[in-house]
Chains A and B, each alone.
Chain A
Amino acid sequence: MKLKLVLSAATAICLGVTAAIAAGEPQAVRQDEMKKVGGAMGALGGIAKGEKPYDAEAVKAALTTLAEVGKTFPDHFPAGTEIGMESEAAPAIWQNMDDFKAKSAKLASIAEAQLAALPADQAGVGATMQAVGATCGDCHQTYRLKK
């Protein structure tokens, strides 16, 4: 009985450690970052579609997230993280790192421009979605690989 407890405790610790390591891996970090972007786009999309009322603070928060992720996203692609953890990163990222960085920076700059002239209503948020959204596809066209 005691042995069982010890074993399960040990297993739990091991699992916990594995999870902690996995969470810190660049592949996991960049996947989380993209999920944040998805969440931010979702917040804007809900307003643009009229599913949620216009909320300046929510729009500001979403655009701030987009700008922050855009600035640092390419930092999570060090050599040696090309594959693993179901990464959908395309090999082209490491072949054209400068272009990849430029595309990420573009997301940040467009999000900041939208922050500076915050959209004031539902239609404005729709236009913002289009402006920011174009950078999503522009980058995913070349640098994301669906597996």
Chain B
Amino acid sequence: MASTWVKGLGTLAVLGAAGFGTFLFITAPQRQDPAVWANLGEPDLTHGREVFFAGGCASCHAPVGATGDARLVLSGGAPLKSDFGTFHAPNISSDPQAGIGAWTLAEFGDAMTRGVGRAGEHLYPSFPYGSYARMTPKDINDLYGFMKTLPASDAVAPAHELGFPFNQRIALGGWKFLFFSDAPRVELADASDMLKRGQYLVEGPGHCGECHTPRNALGGFLSGQWLAGGPNPDGEGTIPNITPGSKSMGSWSEGDIVTYLETGFTPDYDSVGGSMVEVQKNMAELTAADREAIAAYLKAIPAVQ
């Protein structure tokens, strides 16, 4: 009888180990093929600046309350509170020790598009690589080139404050397995170049869905709810639905959306608020054509009530 128990336990242990091994194998951090980051040439810094603002890097990585040029010092920013704990955006300034100044383009690119850190570890999806995964290698190259021109800071950001099991980076492999994808969020039939550009900006660098799409208990997007709004993942209040079915802005024209992104005013001259204030400042730095492309995309996606 006892030996049956031992055998049973032994079998379980073997199966468990095999299962865990399989889990590790399936969910190991996966870098991009190094060829992706090769031969990209000299970065276009002017374009890199546009990518920087499209990506909203300063919103999380600039110091709290920074204004003007101080927003270009990416020493780490305001704590991001979530259901899983508090995340602290790290120093991504050009400092070779405290920041990412010594990273290769491949290391930077793998972090941006695959959520893999310099040491090969999984990164937390509070860093929106689930959106940045859609970015082109050229944009990543131009962005990194531009970021290297920004000031260095030797400030060391605090570590994330997460409870078990969320403090186990290994579990992020499971999260990626379930939710990570670089496929389009919505299928747009016969999309014009302008619409494709809008899709790229919103689903990729703009990472709009990270706040505007509701999530399940594990932090994955709810299907069929793309950009449909929901509770604020970072505190009180709600994040609005920005699909054509939105009560608050479904009736806006493309021109209204463009004006809002450029000036921060709604059609009835209410103003931008909350975390969207920082986002709008970034959107104002884009080209007019890019703001128009974003508006076209937001009018083209499925309406969710």
Q: Show the binding face of A for B, using Cβ within 8 Å.
A: 38-39, 41-42, 45, 90-91, 129-130, 133, 136-138, 140-141, 144-147
Contacts and interface: CB of A to CB of B under 8 A. Distances in A.
Contacts of B271: 41, 133, 136-137, 140
Interface residues of B, number: 19
A contacts with B: majority SS: helix
Contact of A41 (B265, B273, B275): B265
Interface on chain B toward A: helix, strand, loop, or mixed SS? loop
B270 A38 contact: yes
Contacts of A140: 271-274, 277
Contacts of B238: 146-147
Contact of B264 (A39, A137, A144): A137
B273 A42 contact: no
Nearest to B259: A49
Contact of B269 (A39, A138, A146, A147): A39
Contacts of B265: 41, 45, 133, 136
A135 B263 CA distance: 12
Contacts of A137: 264, 271-273, 277, 280
B289 to A, nearest CB: 19
Contacts of B263: 129-130, 133
B187 interface: no
B193 interface: no
Contact of B268 (A42, A136, A141): A42
B235 to A, nearest CB: 9
